[in-house]
Structure 1
Amino acid sequence: MTIDSAFVLPGNGTDGGWVEDVLLAGQADEICLRLPAVIDRGMLRRLVSERQSELRDAGLRAGGSAVLRLPPSVAFVTHLLAIWRSGAQAILLDHRLTDHEVRRAIERLVPQVVVEPVRSVSGGLRTFHEIETTVASYSGHPAATNHAVVQLSSGSTGPSKVIGRTAEDLIAEVQRYTQIPGVPLKGERIVLLPSMVHVLGLVGGLLYGLHAGAELVPPERMTGDSILQAIAAQDSPATVLGVPFHIGLLASVDQPPRLPQFRRMTTGGELVQAAVAEAFAQRYDAVLGNMYGMTEVGVIGTDLFGQHRPAIRPAPGIEVREVAGELWVSRPESPYIGLSDPTRWADGWLRTRDAGEVDPQTGLVSIKGRLDSQVSVGGLKVDLTEVEATLGELTGVAAVVVVFDKWITAYLQLADDRPVARIEAELAERLASYKRPRSVRVLDQLPRTTTGKLVRDLTVLRTAAALPGSAGT
């Protein structure tokens, strides 16, 4: 079904009927998930009902809340839908968070129920897991807010924020996706790479896929070859949904097979380096599309046909304005829980902290990077995103983060063993002296968030650079 634009939740939005109407409707034999077991809508509805009974026995009630600390799995999907179908709030915690981080979140949000794996989940490259879960009672308190989902921001530039979104808000975002040209349609597939704990995988993958009737198909492992195998597994058109890190995985495959069903790759998160986009284009006939969004809002704008890179067009129903070089996005209420900060949200506008421009003629939005990337060196303005992009174009540079830490500092991850002096010499040919990093650090692996974004927090970067094996000047 397509959501009627006049769709209104009953009561205060805590009625779980929206899950049935928006996400689970459809023929019982219609395949919706391959995780890797094939799950049709009839089976999914049965599994969700079973989870509802387990949660109810553990004390979850309508208007209550439950923490999900699960890896990507059938258990995650079915528990999430069961929580919502019960009229309760789902608090999503990435299973890779430390026990300390989880404990602090639980103590702050006080859920009625906590759902975790029975045994710890091993790391590695697996994208989906087969797990047993434990459902434990925690408190008898109702949820502190009427949000359907509570998430933590990615924390790429500092501590995570607690963000809440109502059922109405989630439905509105699914509706926005249905109006965007180029999104996967009924009978097509979404090869999902980002975690469903975070907004791109959650709404752009799971919720939209369930609503639209597109099969959700994660690869078995997070490697370029495994992603290609997932695309090749069926003949139906496939869209790969991921972040720039995942483009790099596909671009690293030397001679990929011809895959006519590979229609599009759509990326969210940070900006795509030109060299990475070019490497992808050389190997695949698929369109490389772009998406811009935030945990607080969901999808903000897209360029799914790759016509305006790096610019995007605002999604239906989203208004974006430029104020003193910063992008503001319309948002009727503050998305933050326990945070009253008028510098982030006020009067219906969310300050994104992203630098950008809005073309007054076309309405296209160009994202320039984080607003704090503008620094002054000796009285001269330097855009750190320009420095970062220039470094990223150099041969052998796999990933780069440029920050201002008393002076311009670059953290590099190299694809091959190249002397730092050679990289600095090549950079000197491309950038004025005042723009060039005073310090260059080479790490085996640059730190990333759980969503695959490069971490820009100074403390994390300094710690990683101090580990044995790092080098630099």
Structure 2
Amino acid sequence: MSAYDEKVWLARYAPGQPAEITVEFDNAVEMFRASVARSPEADAIRYFDGRITLRELDELTDAFAAGLADAGFGAGERVAIYAQNVPQFVIAQLGTWKAGGIAVSINPMNKERELEQLLTDSGATVLVALQSLYRDVAAKVVPNTGVRTVITTSELEYQTRNDERIFAGVERIPCAGTLDMAELLSRFRGQAPPRVSPGPDDVAFLTYTSGTTGPPKGAMTTHRNVVFNAQTYRDWIGIGPDDVVLGIAPLFHITGLVGHIAISLLAGAPLVLMYRLDPAVTIETVQAEQATFTVGSITVFIALMNAPNADKDALASLTKIYSGGAPIPPSTVTAFQDTFGHYIHNIYGLTETTSPSHAVPLGSEAPVDPASGALSVGVPIYNTVVRIVDDEGKDLPPGEIGELVTAGPQVVAGYWNKPEESAKALPDGALHTGDVGYMDAEGWFYIVDRKKDQINAGGYKVWPREVEDVLYEHDAVREAAVVGVPDEYRGETVKAFVSLRPGRSATPEELIAFAKERMAAYKYPRLVEILDDIPKTVTGKLLRRELRARS
């Protein structure tokens, strides 16, 4: 039976941890209000030299909700948020909930076609956008959508430092025909919107999948989903009001929405935002704010290791570190520990599982599978059962590779206006993840790869992650991505794209030989191309489609 018995694992590895937790609040607004009541003058958000207390955030989000109501916004309508990691993102999201609405988070890297697609699909009636994004992108597509109200804002608000490394070339831009967010909040400050209390099964936000297998789909994340996984972060990792959350993941992504915003609102721990990621500035910020917890893509931690101010004590306070969203090579975890003295704990989930479904307990180190070299993603979190199944949906025993099927309170209700796709991906409420992996005899889970990324080289199955992990062991390799490319003899052959660490060198022939010595003959890459940077999404996922197109 591949279903994970959490009670057994917790008793063996994490004594004192409960196997199940109870959802404490009906919605995320109640969760936030409990923190305001406990410590109203505690910092809620820190943004360079700016500070917003919990009391001030409560007032600002009341004002936003009152402004929406004044503009004719009704319960159940959608507010699209198109911004970087700025305080206004949190204000708009929480204010939308207070108005009874659904927040729609949009990748700020999206261009006209993608933005129009998401605004149309979600039916958003309000758009909150950074001024530059409105001018350059949104202004061209809003007339083609159902958006009635546009609220614009500047990344320069709520701070005065104006660090040139972050804000070079940034200026306030007048946006005719839109509401200025600062003026809106000032006008409605002190007004309480009509009291709205969303139910646990009401949708809190739509988070759009990347669309790698078709058009993006809006995962309907409920308030129960949000509160449950906020509690998971709090209880699993031990996050409280004395912690400081470092916001390195994009807020539009499920990791940022839950692993930054939701945990901060629940625990009453300040959320530190930095607009855009700059490795040197991030290290300075950790030191200045004494940040204690973060979760983000492994590519961020690789960047921190290569920052000019990286040294053993640079991240001394940051003792609770988790990484998810992209595969983690074991060699990178070791290199990070050698550089900063801290262990990176694996965490795994999808948009459809509201961030984590698996995690490594704080203080534990994930095992590395000796056969594949894969680092375990941990064990299922509270209240969660994960099965490994074959193509017919039958359970597989420990050690056998199949698809992960996840059931638990964090699994979303379905996809927005897509009942057929919801039924296919979530039969009986259990998510068929599309990720392939296995569970070992001790209950640890390992992800091999996405089903669609498997390479068929002359009839042999090759999983890109295994090849990538071997390449990461070479001391010159900074990042690696492996894809299958057409081959007349083998049907497909293995090709690796590699970027090198600053000051290091390696030839394609050297890297091929390095992998050949460490892998079965059918697995090692026959082709290696060295790039300055590996193309990735903003959340750190490799853009394999783009790499295949180059070949």
Q: TM-score if structure 1 supplies the norm length?
A: 0.85
User: 2 CA distance for matches of 1:273 and 1:371?
Assistant: 19
Q: 1:5 aligns with which of 22, 27, 33?
A: 22
Higher alpha-carbon deviation: 220-229 or 290-299: 220-229
> Cα deviation per residue 1:21-61 (whole Å; 9 max; x = unaligned)?
35644322111210121111111112112212322233211
The residue aligned with 2:414 is 335
Maintained 8 Å contact 2:219/2:412: no
Aligned AA (1:86) = A
Q: CA deviation at 1:156?
A: 5.8
Change in Cα spacing, 1:411 to 1:217, as seen in structure 2 (3 Å) is same
The residue aligned with 1:399 is 479
SS class of match (2:295) = strand
Q: CA deviation at 1:284?
A: 1.6
Are 2:104 and 1:46 equivalent residues in the alignment? no
Are 2:513 and 1:425 equivalent residues in the alignment? yes
Maintained 8 Å contact 1:127/1:219: no
Higher alpha-carbon deviation: 412-421 or 58-67: 412-421
Q: 1:307 aligns with which of 361, 365, 370?
A: 365
User: 1 CA distance for matches of 2:133 and 2:286?
Assistant: 30
Aligned alpha-carbon RMSD (Å) = 3.0
Q: CA deviation at 1:131?
A: 6.9
User: 2 CA distance for matches of 1:358 and 1:265?
Assistant: 24
Change in Cα spacing, 1:104 to 1:158, as seen in structure 2 (3 Å) is closer
Maintained 8 Å contact 2:85/2:275: no
The count of corresponding residues between Structure 1 and Structure 2 is: 444
Q: 1:380 aligns with which of 443, 450, 460?
A: 460
The residue aligned with 1:212 is 267
Maintained 8 Å contact 2:222/2:413: no
Q: 1:190 aligns with which of 240, 245, 249?
A: 245
Q: Which has the higher helix share?
A: 2
The residue aligned with 1:443 is 531
Maintained 8 Å contact 2:347/2:358: yes
The residue aligned with 2:353 is 297
Q: CA deviation at 1:81?
A: 0.7
| 1:142-181 equivalence runs, <5 A | 146-155=202-211, 159-180=215-236
Q: 1:115 aligns with which of 121, 124, 128?
A: 128
Change in Cα spacing, 1:179 to 1:131, as seen in structure 2 (3 Å) is farther
Higher alpha-carbon deviation: 370-379 or 446-455: 370-379
Change in Cα spacing, 1:207 to 1:30, as seen in structure 2 (3 Å) is same
Q: 1:250 aligns with which of 298, 304, 308?
A: 304
The residue aligned with 1:470 is none
Aligned AA (2:286) = I
Q: 2:542 aligns with which of 447, 454, 458?
A: 454
Aligned AA (1:204) = G
| 1:338-357 equivalence runs, <5 A | 338-339=417-418, 340-341=420-421, 342-357=423-438
Change in Cα spacing, 1:147 to 1:220, as seen in structure 2 (3 Å) is closer
Q: CA deviation at 1:387?
A: 1.5
Maintained 8 Å contact 1:58/1:113: no
Stretches of structure 1 lacking an aligned partner (at least 5 in a row): 137-144, 467-473
Change in Cα spacing, 1:172 to 1:221, as seen in structure 2 (3 Å) is closer
Higher alpha-carbon deviation: 257-266 or 201-210: 257-266
Stretches of structure 2 lacking an aligned partner (at least 5 in a row): 1-20, 137-154, 156-163, 181-200, 368-374, 391-401, 487-491
The residue aligned with 2:30 is 18
Maintained 8 Å contact 2:497/2:530: yes
Maintained 8 Å contact 2:85/2:273: no
User: 2 CA distance for matches of 1:429 and 1:34?
Assistant: 49
Aligned AA (2:39) = Q
SS class of match (2:231) = helix
Aligned AA (1:365) = F
User: 2 CA distance for matches of 1:240 and 1:328?
Assistant: 27
Aligned AA (2:46) = R
| 1:60-79 equivalence runs, <5 A | 60-79=73-92
The residue aligned with 1:366 is 446
The residue aligned with 2:279 is 224
User: 2 CA distance for matches of 1:429 and 1:281?
Assistant: 26
Q: 1:35 aligns with which of 28, 31, 47?
A: 47
Q: CA deviation at 1:111?
A: 1.6
Q: CA deviation at 1:305?
A: 2.5
Q: TM-score if structure 2 supplies the norm length?
A: 0.74
The residue aligned with 2:383 is 317
Change in Cα spacing, 1:126 to 1:352, as seen in structure 2 (3 Å) is farther
SS class of match (2:335) = helix
User: 1 CA distance for matches of 2:446 and 2:480?
Assistant: 21
Q: CA deviation at 1:328?
A: 0.8
Maintained 8 Å contact 2:84/2:276: no
Are 2:496 and 1:410 equivalent residues in the alignment? yes
Q: 2:93 aligns with which of 80, 85, 90?
A: 80
> Cα deviation per residue 1:59-98 (whole Å; 9 max; x = unaligned)?
2111211111122212111111100011111111112100
Maintained 8 Å contact 2:353/2:412: no
Q: CA deviation at 1:19?
A: 5.7
Maintained 8 Å contact 2:31/2:265: no
Aligned AA (2:540) = G
SS class of match (2:128) = strand
> Cα deviation per residue 1:155-182 (whole Å; 9 max; x = unaligned)?
46665332111112211222222331x3
SS class of match (1:38) = strand
Aligned AA (1:378) = G
Q: CA deviation at 1:337?
A: 2.1
Q: CA deviation at 1:396?
A: 1.8
Aligned AA (2:226) = L
Change in Cα spacing, 1:6 to 1:194, as seen in structure 2 (3 Å) is closer
